[in-house]
Amino acid sequence: MAKGAPKKTTKGYNVTAIQQWRLSNLKTQPKDESEFSIRMAMARLRKEEALAEEAEWKAKKIELELRKQAANLVDLDAVDQFFTQLIAGGRRQLLRIPEEIAAGFPEDQRVEVRDLIAKHLEMWLRSMNAKSKNLAGIREL
């Protein structure tokens, strides 16, 4: 509790007494402009320090990228992400093939042809996935 504030009684807090104490405390408390200006200056300083740290971090990141480019180095995460997206997109396109091919067959054969092509395609994708894990370490197909 603040100094001079009404204490808690056995029945709880006296809300009206606390409100009166707050009003009287606000009126008697002198406004300290210097303390406010110091707080604002400290806040501005912290903000400027944060901006300086962010700018320094960005500069280091750019410097690292330039070094990688100068040394012809490649970021492995970026390569992994690129191949993962490429293979995932290719898989989606491949899985559309059974529908497109089956559309050229007579109505009574479409379902059978689509299922057969999808089965062979899925087997091929699984084998490619196993090969890629063994050879290149690509996680997803």
Per the model's pLDDT, the better-predicted residue between 75 and 134 turns out to be 75
- Report how far residue 19's alpha carbon sits from residue 31's, in angstroms, rounded to the nearest whole number: 20
Q: Can you read off the two tokens belonging to residue 23?
A: 């009003």
The residues, ordered by sequence, that sit 6+ positions from 75 with a Cβ below 8 Å of its Cβ are 68
Ranking 11-25, 41-55, 121-135 by mean pLDDT, the lowest is 121-135
Q: pTM for the whole thing?
A: 0.32
Looking at the structure, do residues 61 and 94 belong to the same domain, yes or no? no
Looking at the structure, do residues 20 and 59 belong to the same domain, yes or no? yes
Q: How many domains is the chain partitioned into structurally?
A: 2
Q: What pLDDT, in 10s, does the model give residues 12-34?
A: 777 888 888 888 777 655 566 77
The answer to whether position 116 is within a domain reads: yes
Q: What is the pLDDT of residue 25?
A: 75
- Report how far residue 67's alpha carbon sits from residue 58's, in angstroms, rounded to the nearest whole number: 14
Query: In terms of residue numbers, what domain contains 43?
Result: 15-69
For the cut 50, the answer to whether the pLDDT of residue 53 exceeds it is yes
**pLDDT band at residue 56, thresholds of 50, 70 and 90?**
very high
The answer to whether position 6 is within a domain reads: no
